[in-house]
Amino acid sequence: MSAGLRVLVVEDEPSTRIELAGQLAELPAVGEVVAAAGGDEAVRLLGSGSFDAAFLDIAMPGLNGMDVARILRRLSDPPEIVFVTAYDNHAVEAFGLGAADYLLKPFRPERLAEAVARIGGRRSGPAVGDKADDLAVVQVELAGRTVFVRRDDIAYAEAHGDYVRLHSTQGSHLLRQSLTYLEQVWDAAGFVRAHRSFLINLAAVTELRVTSTAGLVAVTEPGEVPVSRRHSRLLRERLLQAAREGGAHR
């Protein structure tokens, strides 16, 4: 029988820390809760053994929650990270760090239970195909608002400095994430590298076309995507595979 999840809580406000640790300890999936009053103490506690999950406040003296998350990501077996904060303006950066969830204070007990259930599913070793659930919805900032964009609505992603520009029929949005990371987590969902600067959704491709100016391009409703010679063979193979699988399910 599993001993349950070992969870680290990092929160500088004593009453909030005690309440969150107590709520987590009452959940059947949680085996042990270790609490830290700040980021520096949390780093010291890493020597006590590995954790399955870390619930991090963001605004703290010394090392803040983002700093701690970056340290945790460098571990050989990093815990799942859940940010617990009163502010929503860090959501894009949080999910860019691979956060499993983002809880806004105050939150309902069932919302906390949902986050723990998500962690349990991710830690149990999902099948390769389940990886398509990663970043199925991305949060982007737009004029002071948080906009939720469904991955399936995205036709292609374009490297844009330290960001990625996501293109869909509804427009485009900047996401603070690398194209390489999106390629890894969205591969099972049918996203393929077409060019060193472009990742394309196979389901959005209507045709491949050779142009006199750009060479081979993949045509989608929002626009044309250049296809490099290096990536053209794999793209054609994946498109053919997708067409066959689509026909088999009709």
Of residues 127 and 118, more confidently modeled: 118
- CATH number of the structural domain 134-248: 2.40.50.1020
Nearest-10 crossing angle of helices 109-123, 14-25: 60
Domain boundaries, the chain: 5-125, 134-248
- The yes-or-no verdict on residue 161 having pLDDT over 90 is no
Dist. CA 91–CA 51, nearest whole Å: 23
Q: Across the strands, what pairs with 104?
A: 85
Digit-coded pLDDT (tens) for 23-63: 999 999 999 999 999 999 999 998 888 899 999 999 999 99
Digit-coded pLDDT (tens) for 163-177: 899 999 889 998 888
Say which range, 118-122, 156-160, 179-183, 224-228, has the weakest mean pLDDT.
118-122
Give residues with Cβ within 8 angstroms of 137, minimum separation 6.
148, 149, 150, 151
> Tell me, what's the pLDDT at 124?
61
Domain topology for 5-125: Rossmann fold (3.40.50)
> Tell me, what's the pLDDT at 49?
85
Digit-coded pLDDT (tens) for 75-122: 888 899 999 998 877 887 887 888 888 888 888 888 899 889 888 877
Digit-coded pLDDT (tens) for 207-238: 999 988 879 999 999 999 999 999 998 899 88
